[in-house]
Chains A and B, each alone.
Chain A
Amino acid sequence: QVQLRESGPGLVKPSETLSLTCTVSGDSMSTYHWHWIRQSPGKGLEWIGYIYYSGSTSYNPSLNSRVTISIDTSKNQFSLKVASVTAADTATYYCARRVSTGWPFDNWGLGTLVTVSS
């Protein structure tokens, strides 16, 4: 059974860059799509973007200019960077797996709370 676990700082200052890593265990990263999703009281669940194991990416247009997702299959990890954060980026961040387009998110990480505050 695949397991995903998010890691990274829980506190980020405004205007800085939020950086998180998702470590995948129990399965290969090949052939899957690896996603980031966040949840805040104000905006609910919001899809951020994904990366394919080959390295191709797709981002939510509302966040596109600030988001970068990368992958390191040798470490079974993929990462998220959100630049120029504000209080509106305070949320619980989840990593999740999807088999391909046309499939839902079938495995999620536990989530990690990131607070943007000085």
Chain B
Amino acid sequence: DIQMTQSPSTLSASVGDRVTISCRASQSVRSWLAWYQQKPGKSPKLLIYEASRLQSGVPSRFSGSGSGTEFTLTITSLQPDDFATYYCQQYNDYATFGQGTKVDTK
């Protein structure tokens, strides 16, 4: 099965910062990669799909890039509502998730 590895596990940042989260697949998933945001006690919310397509209603400060095995989620100017845990997920073969990256306050 395909393993997904995110880095870092935790990221400390301030409002206004540019934030980058990486996700690596153990084998190519082409562009079948999604990013989700999860807040405590809530279900994951879809942000990005097909590696770079922004889900409807998601602010444009979120963007995704990459293909094959290397992917990146970028938040261009971190807002107070963005402190959360972010997960990548491949859907090229069944579905597997990264272990998550927690974005907290510096």
Which residues from A are CB-within-8-Å of B87? 44-45
Which residues from A are CB-within-8-Å of B46? 104-106
Q: Are B44 and A101 within 8 A (Cβ)? A: no
Contact of B49 among A58, A60, A101, A104 (CB under 8 A): A104
Number of B interface residues in the complex (CB < 8 A): 21
Which single residue of chain A is at the shortest CB-CB distance from B89?
A: A104
Q: Which of B18-26, B74-82, B95-103 contacts its partner?
A: B95-103
Q: Which of A24-32, A81-89, A108-116 contacts its partner?
A: A108-116
Contact of B100 among A44, A62, A101 (CB under 8 A): A44
Which residues from B are CB-within-8-Å of A111? 43
Q: Are B91 and A101 within 8 A (Cβ)? A: yes
Bound together, the chains give a CA A60 to CA B1 distance in angstroms of: 10
Interface of A is mostly: strand
Within the complex, what minimum Cβ distance (angstroms) separates A14 from chain B? 26
* B55 in contact (CB, < 8 A): yes
Within the complex, what minimum Cβ distance (angstroms) separates B88 from chain A? 10
* B34 in contact (CB, < 8 A): yes
Bound together, the chains give a CA A10 to CA B96 distance in angstroms of: 25
Question: Taking beta carbons and an 8 Å cutoff, which residues of B are in contact with A?
Answer: 1, 32, 34, 36, 42-46, 49, 55, 87, 89, 91, 94-100
Question: Taking beta carbons and an 8 Å cutoff, which residues of A are in contact with B?
Answer: 35, 37, 44-47, 58, 60-62, 94, 98, 101-106, 108-111
